[in-house]
Amino acid sequence: MWSAGGILGGVVAVLTIFIIHWTYKWRNPRGSSNGGVLPPGSMGWPLIGETLHLFIPSRSLDIHPFIKKRIQRYGPLFRTSLAGRPVIVSTDAKVNHYLLLQEGRSVEIWYLDTFAKLFNQDGDSNPATFGAIHRYIRSILLSYFGPDSLREKLLPQIGQMIDSTLRIWSRQGSVSVKEATATEQKKMIKMIRNKLREKRDSPDQAFEGDLLDQAVKEMNTEKFLTEDLIVHFIFGALFASFETISSTITLSFKLLSENPSVVNDLRVEHVAMIKKRENPNSSLTWDDYKSMPFTLQVINETLRLANVIPGLLRRAMTDIEVNGYTIPAGWTIMVATSAQQLNPNTYQDPLAFNPHRWKELDSSVLSKNFTPFGGGMRQCVGAEFTKAFMATFFHVLVTKYR
């Protein structure tokens, strides 16, 4: 006869064996169906993996300590587990370049945020719809924010907006900046939805010739353009532009205030340009923007250090062989471009703000080691807009303020 203590002991023993076996399998995942070798690394604790280490905020411009420590321990390619998913992190410039060019072949984009909702990534969206939405969003954003629109329409508007904002700020003792909370984001989504309905219900009255007008008009011809999709698209575009440009400009302000000689060199370039103009008060033009080598060096150096998007997320669609290791199909890949931009082998004294370094940097090295806007078919559609915006900001700042 089994005693109660014996049964309990048996259950505990079976449970212990199960937990040990499960933990062993968690910590030692299989490389692939045909026995490929996984990159070195640790999968951390069951379920939570190493997520908590990654979310510890870093106040330095340096590579995040989570990544830095693991590069030192395992090399440029390592495995981990984040947010319940097995992940390969790559900080290797050649591997990253290769992976970004593999979009739609062996890897696909993997969004964790607003964009996942937009593309209904975890829902039932089929690849053809996904592709059509992606092409639509790229082309509509490029037509409103790309080089042609900047040249013909946007640059003077950006100039006026920066000018009036700085004028107001310069009269204040301090300026408070804050990030939008989840409640404010919800309010914003509601506001966009109301605006969309207003435009849809009375198209003639509410027509302003903007991106939202065009999307609303095309709801009749493009089947995938639902109300929800447009709302998330507009919110996503605002988020992608606002979050990134504001933090880059904020950092540039800090870096310039610590480096008065750079401000001086910028001022020389911009004042010389104003002297060539017929109307010294006109705002920066496309030709001005394209003929300011030092300003572009300052922009590059700020983008390099800002590392606004420290890693791009992808999902392996097939087993991928790189550097003698296998990235198994289905695993998430973090293409950690931030590590490339702070690599001392490419950028001497990588944490120093030194715009002059750009004169000497070899363009072939840079094509793989300077990717603030990503690469391949997912490259940022707002890249030119961002650079022109920053150039205009510097123009107003150094010509009108001390």
Among 284, 304, 317, smallest CA distance to 355 is for: 304
User: Which of 87, 381, 388, 397 touches ligand HEM (CB under 6 A)?
Assistant: 381
Element containing residue 64 per DSSP (H, E): none
**Cα separation of 348 and 357, whole Å?**
9
Give the position of tokens 């199909």: 329
Tokens (6 digits) for 383: 């890249």
Place of tokens 């440029």: 76
Min dist. Cβ of residue 342 to ligand HEM (A) = 15
Please report how close the Cβ of residue 109 comes to ligand HEM at its closest, in angstroms: 6
Q: Which of residues 283-302 bind ligand HEM (CB under 6 A)?
A: none
CB-based closest residue to ligand HEM? 382
- CA–CA dist 206, 196 (Å, integer): 10
Q: Tell me the window of 120-128, 133-141, 199-207, 250-258 that interacts with ligand HEM (CB under 6 A).
A: 133-141
Q: Which of 191, 228, 203, 213 is nearest to 143 (CA)?
A: 213
Contact set for ligand HEM, span 214-273 (CB under 6 A): 237, 240-241, 244-245, 248
Binding range to ligand HEM, per CB under 6 A, among 11-19, 59-67, 266-274, 373-381:
373-381
| Selected binder of ligand HEM within 161, 309, 361, 366 (CB under 6 A) | 309
Examine residue 373 and tell whether it contacts ligand HEM (CB under 6 A): yes
Cα–Cα distance for residue pair 176/250, rounded to 1 Å: 12
**Positions in 104-123 near ligand HEM (CB under 6 A):** 109
Strand duo 325-327 + 77-82: pairing = unpaired
Q: Does 385 bind ligand HEM (CB under 6 A)?
A: yes
Name the E strands within 218-370. 312-316, 320-322, 325-327, 332-335
Q: Which helix (H) or strand (E) holds 81?
A: strand 77-82
Residue 378 in the binding site for ligand HEM (CB under 6 A): yes
CA–CA distance, 402 with 399 (Å, rounded to integer): 8
Choose between 43 and 67: whose C-beta lies nearer to ligand HEM: 67
Stretch that binds ligand HEM, among 15-23, 147-155, 356-364, 381-389 (CB under 6 A): 381-389
Q: Which of 395, 402, 397 is nearest to 272 (CA)?
A: 395
- Please give the size of the binding site for ligand HEM, defined by CB under 6 A: 23
In the list 234, 312, 336, 397, the residue contacting ligand HEM (rule: CB under 6 A) is 312
Based on the shown chain and the rule CB under 6 A, indicate whether residue 310 belongs to the binding site for ligand HEM.
no
Closer Cβ to ligand HEM, 206 or 383, answer by number: 383
**Whole-number minimum distance, CB 316 to ligand HEM, in Å?**
15
Specify the 3-state DSSP secondary structure of 90. Answer: strand
Q: Which CB atom, from 158 or from 273, has the smaller least distance to ligand HEM? A: 158
Comparing CB distances to ligand HEM, the nearer of 49 and 382 is 382
Nearest approach in angstroms of CB 4 to ligand HEM is 57
Query: In the window 140-169, what residues touch ligand HEM (CB under 6 A)?
Result: 141, 145
Is 108 marked within a binding site? no
Task: Give the ranges where 345-382 is alpha helix by DSSP (H).
Answer: 363-369
- The only residue of 104, 148, 374, 399 in contact with ligand HEM, by rule CB under 6 A: 374
Nearest to 162 by CA among 387, 386, 390: 390
d(CA 151, CA 162): 17
Least separation in angstroms between residue 308's CB and ligand HEM is 4
CB of 321 to ligand HEM, least distance (A): 22
Q: Which long-range contacts (CB under 8 A, 24 or more apart) does 241-249 make?
A: 241/145, 241/382, 241/385, 241/386, 243/308, 244/308, 244/309, 244/382, 244/386, 245/386, 245/389, 245/390, 246/177, 247/306, 247/308, 248/302, 248/303, 248/306, 248/308, 248/386, 248/390, 249/389, 249/390, 249/393
Q: Which is nearer to ligand HEM, 45 or 115 (CB)?
A: 115
> Which one of 61, 116, 308, 366 is in contact with ligand HEM (CB under 6 A)?
308
Residues at the interface with ligand HEM (CB under 6 A):
109, 134, 138, 141, 145, 237, 240-241, 244-245, 248, 308-309, 312, 372-374, 378, 380-382, 385-386
Q: Residues at the annotated binding site?
A: 380
Q: Residues at the annotated binding site for heme?
A: 380
